[in-house]
Amino acid sequence: MKNFYLTISAIIFVVSLAACMATATEQQSQVKSSPAQQTAPATETKKAIVMKHNTPPPNELSKGELPVGQWYTGTLKFYNLEGGFFGFHGDNGERFLPLNLEIRFQQHGAKIKIFGYIDNNIMTIQMWGTPFKVQKVELIKAGDKSGVNPKDI
């Protein structure tokens, strides 16, 4: 009886070992053929993404390239906090801290259109809004040229 169990155990072991080897051989053949098969579809997918919007996906941008800018319309407000600064209130609810905003556009209550991009790689002392690198500005309606909100004094 002991020999019978030993024989059955040996047969089960050999069958399971053969099954494992067959699975390993299949995986190796898939790995060998996989780079050639996966390279073409991945490249086509990346090309489709790039061609669709004419800009590469964010993870494709190198560190030297600037993000693509966007136009926003809103109102400038002067805040007499932390040394005073201008905040941009977008018509769609955006709150930006405009960086590089020319002095001639720094007018409390001015309605402006700004072009630029959000810069998350910068720290400011103003704990208000999202830092926004201004590249272009269009003045729609002039505001208070003194640059100070009388309510903030």
Residue 96 near residue 137 (C-beta atoms within 8 A): no
Q: How far apart are CA 153 and CA 144, in angstroms?
A: 14
Same domain, 98 and 147: yes
- Which CA distances in Å does 68 have to 59, 65, 118, 120? 13, 9, 9, 14
Mark which of 39, 60, 81 sits at the end of a domain: 60
Per-residue pLDDT tens digits for 54-99: 555 555 444 555 567 889 999 999 988 878 899 999 999 999 999 9
Q: Is residue 65 part of a domain?
A: no
DSSP annotation of 69: P
* Domain span holding position 41: 2-60
**Count: domains in the chain:** 2
Q: Against a cut of 0.85, is the pTM above it?
A: no
Q: Is residue 109 part of a domain?
A: yes
* CATH number, residue 139: 2.40.50
